[in-house]
Every structure is written in C-alpha cells, then in structure tokens.
C-alpha cells in the first residue's frame, strides 16, 4: 500500500508497488530480463529496484552457504526487503533462483499478509540451454568436479507448479520476455 508520503511525492497520484519474483535455473536469463524490464519502467518514470541474488548474497546474506536451510534464510531475507520496498510503492524485480517451493511460498504468504502485490515468474529455460549459456562458469566447474550442489544438476530445483507467468527465454528475445512480463503487470493493474 502506498503511504501518504508516496502520494505527495508523486503529485497526489497513488503509487502501486509490487514484488516480481523471477525464479529459474542458473543462467536461465532471470537477471537479464529483470534489467530489461527495469529499464523500461524507469524510462516511464516508475520507481523500480532490482534485487539481484548475487548482490544480496554479498551484502545481505554474506556467510550463508548453499545448503537447504541457508538457501531458505537467504530467500526469506530477500523476500522481506522486497516486501518492504514494494509496500512503499516500488516495483521490485527479484531475479533469484530460490530453488525450493516452500521458501517461495513463504515469501508469497508474507506479501499476502501485508496486502502487497506479488507476482511469481518462472523463467523456464531448460538446463541444457543454461549449461551452454553458463554465464558464470558454474556448469563447467560442476562438470569438472570443482563444485557440487549446482541447482538443477546435482541439487534440486522445484519448478513452480502454477506461476503467474512462465517465460521460455530460449524461444524468444530478451525484449519479448520483458514485454510479456510488462503486459502481465498491466493486466494486474500494477503499472
């Protein structure tokens, strides 16, 4: 919900915030799509933040590992910050793997309890495509035995059963992916 302060800062116009959670495998295209959409929203004068999973791990969740409990803690921290921003009129784009359905559901429930809009997007890129993209070299390191616990390879990834939007980034351009998400936000009255 927008506060009176937000209304004043926007010339009396009500400002709607929302959390848009983009989940998917490493190198699925989550962050690329988020930044593309963020640029479009900023060009329209909207308040938008991207909570990148890697940055959050460095600054907010430093010291957490990649076991199930630490991953859950990381997702809850991100969800808390996202809800706080969204409840104050910011569109928050969250490109984070969040491999466990129960962790994502806990974030959704937090938003629901606070009356804050939440949209779950599954960037459904097959692991074969992600491993070719291998933006951070994780798949190559896993294949070489240098790391283990890679989501979708030797660690679980629980796909969303009923996301608000499923984007198959391997079959369309980044701009088309961002446009489909923009359209959904418009349909939901979140623009």
Q: In what order do the strands lie in the sheet with 117-123?
A: 48-50, 91-95, 18-23, 117-123, 165-167
Rounded Cα distance, 116 and 70, in Å: 25
Q: Is the pLDDT of residue 7 over 50?
A: no
DSSP label at residue 52? -
pLDDT for 41:
97
Q: Once rounded to an integer, what is the mean pLDDT over residues 142-150? A: 89
Q: Once rounded to an integer, what is the mean pLDDT over residues 41-58? A: 92
Beta carbons within 10 angstroms of residue 81's beta carbon = 17
116-135 burial, b for 16+ CB within 10 Å, e for fewer?
bbbbbbbbbbebebbbebee
Rounded Cα distance, 3 and 17, in Å: 11
Q: For residue 156, give the H/E element and its range.
A: none
Chain Cα centroid distance, residue 22:
3
pLDDT for 58:
86
The better pLDDT of the pair 2, 159 is held by 159
pLDDT for 55:
87
Rounded Cα distance, 46 and 20, in Å: 14
What are the pLDDT digits (tens) for 86-123?
A: 999 999 999 999 999 999 999 999 999 999 999 999 99
Q: Is the pLDDT of residue 35 over 80?
A: yes
Q: For the chain, what percent of residues have pLDDT higher than 70? A: 92
pLDDT for 15:
66
Write down the pTM of the prediction.
Answer: 0.89
Q: Once rounded to an integer, what is the mean pLDDT over residues 20-35? A: 96
Rounded Cα distance, 92 and 53, in Å: 13
């Amino acid at each position: 919900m927008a506060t009176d302060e937000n209304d004043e800062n926007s010339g009396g116009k009500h400002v709607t915030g929302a959390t848009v959670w983009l989940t998917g495998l490493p190198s699925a295209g989550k962050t690329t799509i988020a930044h593309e959409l963020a640029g479009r929203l900023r060009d329209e004068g909207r308040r938008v933040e991207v909570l990148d999973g890697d940055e959050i791990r460095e600054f907010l969740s430093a010291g957490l590992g990649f076991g199930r409990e630490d991953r859950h803690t990381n997702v809850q921290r991100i969800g808390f910050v996202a809800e706080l921003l969204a409840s104050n009129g910011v569109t928050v784009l969250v490109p984070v793997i969040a491999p466990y359905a129960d962790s994502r559901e806990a974030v959704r429930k937090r938003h629901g309890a606070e009356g804050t809009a939440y949209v779950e997007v599954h960037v459904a890129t097959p692991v074969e495509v992600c491993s070719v993209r291998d933006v951070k070299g994780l798949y190559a390191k896993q294949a070489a035995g240098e790391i283990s616990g890679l989501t979708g390879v030797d660690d679980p990834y629980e796909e969303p059963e009923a996301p608000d939007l499923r984007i198959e980034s391997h079959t369309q351009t980044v701009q088309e992916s961002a446009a489909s998400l923009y359209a959904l936000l418009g349909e939901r009255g979140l623009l």
